[in-house]
Amino acid sequence: MTAETTAAVDQQVRTTTVDVRCTGHVRDAVGTSDLEFTFEGTTLREFLEEFFAAYDVEEMLIAETEADATARGWAPVPDELPGTWRKNPEGDQTRPYARVCINGRFNEHFEGFETELEDGDRVALIYPFMFCC
């Protein structure tokens, strides 16, 4: 491969196509429960940035601060999480009751928003309807 060819390949942006499943309020805002979405890049963060640019659901799902990620009345998180429990860092968390899943597993079980996505992966954006009494 020549230097020119290598430079051209480096300038090409890789796209990834995923199946998106939406539930609850996200489904209502997006207008469908199931869609295919192609974005530039390969990470969950890149997917979310482009998806939120296309569909106005970021505030529904993403917590800006630790306080936004915690529901009042929840037990405090221990300093050392047991087993393989992980928590996304501040700024990379979802709101209470909202979740982002990759192929059926919470994104915290992977690499958070830096998780690499592949063509055909299923990304679920979950924000359920909640009813009281």
- pLDDT of residue 133 exceeding 50, the answer is no
Report the candidate in 104, 121, 129 with the shortest Cα–Cα distance to residue 26: 129
CA pair distance 72, 55, nearest whole angstrom: 28
- pLDDT of residue 108 exceeding 50, the answer is yes
Q: Are 102 and 44 in contact (CB under 8 A)?
A: yes
**Mean per-residue pLDDT for 101-119?**
91
Q: Which residues pair with 22 in a beta bridge?
A: 125
CA pair distance 45, 48, nearest whole angstrom: 5
Domain 15-71+88-127: top CATH class: alpha beta
First to last CA, the chain: 67
- What percent of the chain lies above the pLDDT cut of 70? 78
pLDDT value for 4: 60
Q: Summarize pLDDT for 3-19 with one digit per residue, the tens.
A: 565 555 555 789 999 99
Q: Summarize pLDDT for 17-29 with one digit per residue, the tens.
A: 999 999 999 999 9
Q: Worst-scoring range by mean pLDDT, 62-66, 83-87, 124-128?
A: 83-87
CA pair distance 45, 96, nearest whole angstrom: 19
